[in-house]
Protein backbone atom coordinates (compact mmCIF):
# COMPACT_ATOMS: atom_id res chain seq x y z
CA UNK A 1 0.00 0.00 0.00
CA UNK A 2 1.14 3.55 -0.74
CA UNK A 3 0.00 6.98 0.44
CA UNK A 4 1.00 10.48 -0.68
CA UNK A 5 -0.35 13.46 1.28
CA UNK A 6 -2.00 16.07 -0.97
CA UNK A 7 -1.21 18.93 1.44
CA UNK A 8 2.51 18.34 2.06
CA UNK A 9 5.35 16.06 1.02
CA UNK A 10 4.57 13.25 3.51
CA UNK A 11 4.48 9.82 1.92
CA UNK A 12 4.09 6.32 3.31
CA UNK A 13 4.53 2.82 1.97
CA UNK A 14 3.63 -0.22 4.05
CA UNK A 15 0.90 -2.59 5.14
CA UNK A 16 -2.39 -2.02 6.91
CA UNK A 17 -0.57 -2.85 10.16
CA UNK A 18 1.43 0.38 9.89
CA UNK A 19 -1.35 2.56 8.39
CA UNK A 20 -1.76 4.27 11.80
CA UNK A 21 1.18 6.51 10.80
CA UNK A 22 -0.98 7.93 7.99
CA UNK A 23 -3.89 8.60 10.37
CA UNK A 24 -1.57 10.37 12.82
CA UNK A 25 -0.13 12.47 10.01
CA UNK A 26 -3.55 13.57 8.73
CA UNK A 27 -4.39 14.90 12.20
CA UNK A 28 -1.75 17.64 11.88
CA UNK A 29 -3.65 19.17 8.97
CA UNK A 30 -6.99 19.06 10.80
CA UNK A 31 -5.58 20.70 13.94
CA UNK A 32 -4.39 23.69 11.92
CA UNK A 33 -7.94 24.54 10.82
CA UNK A 34 -9.67 27.22 12.87
CA UNK A 35 -13.37 26.83 13.44
CA UNK A 36 -15.05 30.24 13.21
CA UNK A 37 -18.62 30.57 14.46
CA UNK A 38 -21.18 33.36 14.47
CA UNK A 39 -21.32 34.86 17.98
CA UNK A 40 -25.09 35.43 17.61
CA UNK A 41 -26.46 32.06 16.48
CA UNK A 42 -23.32 29.83 16.74
CA UNK A 43 -23.41 28.85 13.05
CA UNK A 44 -20.10 27.65 11.61
CA UNK A 45 -18.56 29.79 8.90
CA UNK A 46 -18.80 28.43 5.39
CA UNK A 47 -16.52 29.55 2.58
CA UNK A 48 -18.89 32.39 1.70
CA UNK A 49 -16.96 35.66 1.93
CA UNK A 50 -18.22 39.15 1.22
CA UNK A 51 -14.78 40.78 1.37
CA UNK A 52 -11.30 39.88 2.54
CA UNK A 53 -12.05 39.65 6.27
CA UNK A 54 -15.84 39.63 6.55
CA UNK A 55 -18.56 37.06 6.00
CA UNK A 56 -22.32 36.88 6.16
CA UNK A 57 -24.00 34.34 8.42
CA UNK A 58 -26.39 32.13 6.45
CA UNK A 59 -28.76 31.77 9.41
CA UNK A 60 -29.11 35.19 11.08
CA UNK A 61 -27.88 37.33 8.17
CA UNK A 62 -25.42 39.36 10.25
CA UNK A 63 -22.21 40.67 8.70
CA UNK A 64 -19.32 39.31 10.78
CA UNK A 65 -15.57 39.82 11.01
CA UNK A 66 -12.97 37.05 10.77
CA UNK A 67 -13.48 36.17 14.47
CA UNK A 68 -17.26 35.91 14.26
CA UNK A 69 -17.97 39.27 15.93
CA UNK A 70 -20.95 41.22 14.55
CA UNK A 71 -20.02 44.19 12.34
CA UNK A 72 -23.48 44.93 11.02
CA UNK A 73 -26.68 43.32 12.23
CA UNK A 74 -29.65 42.29 10.13
CA UNK A 75 -32.91 43.47 11.68
CA UNK A 76 -35.63 40.84 11.60
Complete DSSP assignment for 28-73: HHHHT----B-TTT-PBP-S--SSSS-EE-TTT--EE-TTS-EEEP
pTM of the full structure: 0.43
Q: Please write the tens of the pLDDT for every residue from 43-73.
A: 777 655 555 678 788 788 888 887 778 888 7
pLDDT at 13: 93
- Domain residue ranges in the chain: 2-31, 35-76
Q: Give the residue with greater pLDDT, 37 vs 11.
A: 11
Mean pLDDT of 14-36: 79
Q: Please tell me the distance from the alpha carbon of residue 17 to that of residue 37, in angstroms, as a whole number.
A: 38
Q: Which of 9-23, 29-43, 55-69 ranks highest by mean pLDDT?
A: 9-23
Amino acid sequence: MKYQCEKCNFHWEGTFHTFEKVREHEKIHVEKLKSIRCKVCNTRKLDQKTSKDTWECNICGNLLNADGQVISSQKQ
